[in-house]
């Protein structure tokens, strides 16, 4: 129908692509956090206590802090992605409702024109 916009299928909108990229980043951040946790654990468990002093001790502590920071960032990204996904769903519903209303309006206009030309 003239003037009617079509709803883009899920996965085709710019918000869907943004969500997909954000989910990929969240997965990367989570993997980095997991890997850093392993490194931190290995350093703490495998290095003798007499070596875990000074700069080495600072590096081990810094590794642990970075792992925690990455884990928190991954959690925040997951929350943002969930909110973004919910917003996409709401927009799709609103767009579908708008499209239905526009289609009904077009039908009514056509009916009025047909009745007016009688």
Task: Write b or e for each residue in 38-61: b if 16 or more Cβ atoms lie within 10 A of its Cβ, otherwise e.
Answer: eebeebeeeeeeeeeeeeeeeebe
pLDDT (0 to 100) of residue 9: 58
**How distant is the alpha carbon of residue 52 from its chain centre?**
40
**Mean model confidence pLDDT for the chain:** 88
How much is the pTM? 0.69
What is the CB-side half-sphere exposure of residue 9 using CA atoms within 13 A?
0
pLDDT (0 to 100) of residue 110: 94
Integer angstrom CA distances of residue 77 from 3, 56, 66, 69, 93: 38, 31, 16, 12, 24
């Amino acid at each position: 129908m003239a003037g009617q916009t079509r709803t883009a299928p899920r996965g085709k909108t710019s918000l869907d692509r943004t969500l997909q990229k954000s989910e990929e980043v969240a997965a990367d951040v989570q993997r980095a956090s997991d890997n850093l946790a392993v490194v931190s654990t290995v350093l703490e468990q495998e290095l003798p206590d007499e070596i875990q002093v000074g700069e080495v001790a600072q590096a081990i502590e810094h590794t642990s802090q970075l792992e925690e920071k990455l884990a928190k960032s991954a959690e925040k990204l997951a929350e943002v992605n969930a909110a973004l996904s919910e917003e996409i769903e709401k927009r799709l519903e609103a767009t579908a409702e708008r499209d239905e209303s526009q289609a009904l309006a077009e039908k009514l206009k056509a009916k009025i024109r047909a009745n007016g030309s009688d």
